[in-house]
C-alpha cells in the first residue's frame, strides 16, 4: 500500500529526513542540547516542510524513462516551483534563521538570500507587490495543486522559462542536502521539537505482535518506514495486505496541525484530546482506505492509522493501540 508520498518524502529533504526519522524519543528533545524553537519558527518549519514535500511530490513524476532526461526534468520542475514560491519561502526561511538553533542560522540565511533572488526575478517579469504578497501568504496543504498555483500567477510560459533558467544557479544555495552533518542534526532536532517529524521508537515494543495481529487479522511483519512504525498483515485473495501505522511525535503541535488539517471527529476517553478521520494518514504514507486516529496527551502526539480492506477498523481498536503506545513510547 506504499504510496507516492514515500517517494516524495525521501526526495523532499534527502539524508536530513533520514536523520530526523532516526532520532530516538528519549533524546529528540533533551533539554540543554539545543534551544526549543519559537512557536513562529515551528509554524514556519511546518510550512517549509510542506512546500518541500509538495515540490518533491511534483518532481517525483519526472523520475521515469531516460535517466538523464528525467533528472533534468525533475530539476527544472523543482526550480520552477521554488521560483514561484520564493515569496513564501523567503519569509519562512527568514523566520527559521532567527527562531531555531544558532547552528541553523547560516543555513537558513543562505536559503533566504537565494529565495530573495527569486522574488526579485518575479518582480522583474511583472508580478505586482500585491501578487508577491499573496504568494507569501499562501496556505499550502498536502492536497495543494502547485500547477494551479502557477496558473493563478498567469505568467507568460516563455517568460517563466527564462526566469527559471536565471534562478537555477540559486538552487545550490537552497539545497538542503548541502547542509553539514551538524546542521543536519540540528534541523532534525528542530523538526522533532516542532512536531513535524516523528521520533524514532522501538516499533516492536510500542505495538506488540499480538496487538498488531488483532487489528490486521493475522501475523504481522514490523518495520520502520521513514520514521513510521508499520505493521503489515497477511494479504487475502491476492489483494493488498492490511496495514497498521504508528507515528509518535514529541510535541502537541503535531496534533494541532494534523487534526485541524484533517477536520476529524472528536473521540472522548483517550488522551487529553483525540480525533478520528477516514483515510490512512501516516507520516510516511497516505491512502484513501481505512481510518486514522490522532491523540494528544500532554506534549506528546500519537497517530494510529489502519487499512483493513473493505471493513473499516473500529475506533475502539485504534484507541486501544493509541493508549498502549502512549504508555510505552516514553520507554522505547
Q: Which residues pair with 274 in a beta bridge?
A: 295
pTM: 0.85
Question: Which of 6, 36, 34 has its CA nearest to residue 21?
Answer: 6
Burial category of 168 from C-beta neighbours within 10 Å (exposed 0-12, middle 13-18, buried 19 and up): middle
CA distance 240 to 307: 10
Averaged pLDDT, 57-85: 79
Topology (CATH) of 203-331 = Protein Transport Mog1p; Chain A (3.40.1000)
Q: So what's the pLDDT on residue 238?
A: 67
Residues whose CB is less than 8 angstroms from the CB of residue 184 and which lie 6 or more positions away in sequence, other chains included: 15, 16, 19
CA distance 8 to 23: 20
Averaged pLDDT, 281-298: 92
pLDDT value at 82 more than 90:
yes
Query: pLDDT tens, 200-234?
Result: 899 999 999 999 999 999 999 999 988 899 999 98
Query: pLDDT tens, 152-177?
Result: 888 888 999 999 999 999 988 998 88
Q: Where are the domains of the chain?
A: 4-193, 203-331
pLDDT level of residue 317 (50, 70, 90 thresholds): very high
Averaged pLDDT, 83-91: 96
CA distance 276 to 266: 7
Task: Transcribe 91-129 into DSSP letters.
Answer: HHHHHHHHHS-GGGHHHHHHHHHHHHHHHHHHHHTT--H
Distances (CA, A) of 27 to 41, 181, 329: 21, 17, 12
Q: Is the dihedral of CA 180, 182, 184, 187 positive or negative?
A: negative
Amino acid at each position: 500500500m506504499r504510496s507516492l508520498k514515500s517517494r516524495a518524502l525521501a526526495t523532499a529533504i534527502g539524508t536530513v529526513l533520514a536523520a530526523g526519522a532516526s532520532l530516538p524519543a528519549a533524546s529528540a528533545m533533551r533539554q540543554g542540547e539545543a534551544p526549543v524553537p519559537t512557536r513562529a519558527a515551528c509554524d514556519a518549519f511546518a510550512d517549509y516542510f510542506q512546500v518541500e514535500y509538495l515540490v518533491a511530490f511534483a518532481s517525483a513524476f519526472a523520475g521515469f524513462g531516460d535517466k538523464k532526461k528525467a533528472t533534468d526534468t525533475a530539476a527544472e520542475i523543482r526550480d520552477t516551483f521554488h521560483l514561484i514560491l520564493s515569496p513564501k519561502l523567503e519569509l519562512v526561511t527568514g523566520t527559521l534563521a532567527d527562531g531555531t538553533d544558532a547552528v541553523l542560522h547560516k543555513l537558513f540565511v543562505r536559503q533566504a538570500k537565494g529565495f530573495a533572488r527569486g522574488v526579485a526575478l518575479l518582480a522583474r517579469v511583472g508580478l505586482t507587490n500585491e501578487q508577491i504578497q499573496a504568494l507569501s501568504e499562501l496556505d499550502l496543504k498536502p492536497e495543494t495543486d502547485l500547477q494551479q498555483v502557477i496558473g493563478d500567477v498567469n505568467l507568460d510560459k516563455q517568460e517563466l522559462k527564462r526566469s527559471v533558467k536565471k534562478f537555477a544557479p540559486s538552487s545550490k544555495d537552497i539545497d538542503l542536502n548541502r547542509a553539514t552533518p551538524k546542521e543536519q542534526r540540528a534541523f532534525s532536532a528542530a523538526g522533532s521539537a516542532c512536531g513535524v517529524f516523528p521520533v524514532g521508537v522501538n516499533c516492536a515494543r510500542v505495538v506488540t505482535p499480538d496487538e498488531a495481529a488483532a487489528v490486521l487479522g493475522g501475523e504481522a511483519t514490523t518495520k520502520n518506514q521513514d520514521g513510521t512504525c508499520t505493521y503489515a498483515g497477511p494479504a487475502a485473495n491476492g489483494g493488498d495486505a492490511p496495514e497498521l501505522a504508528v507515528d509518535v511525535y514529541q510535541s502537541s503541535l503535531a496534533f494541532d496541525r494534523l487534526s485541524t488539517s484533517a477536520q476529524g471527529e472528536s473521540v472522548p476517553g483517550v488522551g487529553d484530546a483525540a480525533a478520528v478521520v477516514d483515510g490512512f494518514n501516516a507520516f510516511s504514507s497516505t491512502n484513501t482506505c481505512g481510518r486514522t486516529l490522532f491523540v494528544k496527551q500532554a506534549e506528546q502526539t500519537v497517530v494510529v492509522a489502519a487499512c483493513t480492506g473493505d471493513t473499516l477498523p473500529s475506533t475502539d481498536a485504534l484507541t486501544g493501540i493509541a493508549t498502549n503506545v502512549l504508555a510505552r513510547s516514553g520507554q522505547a
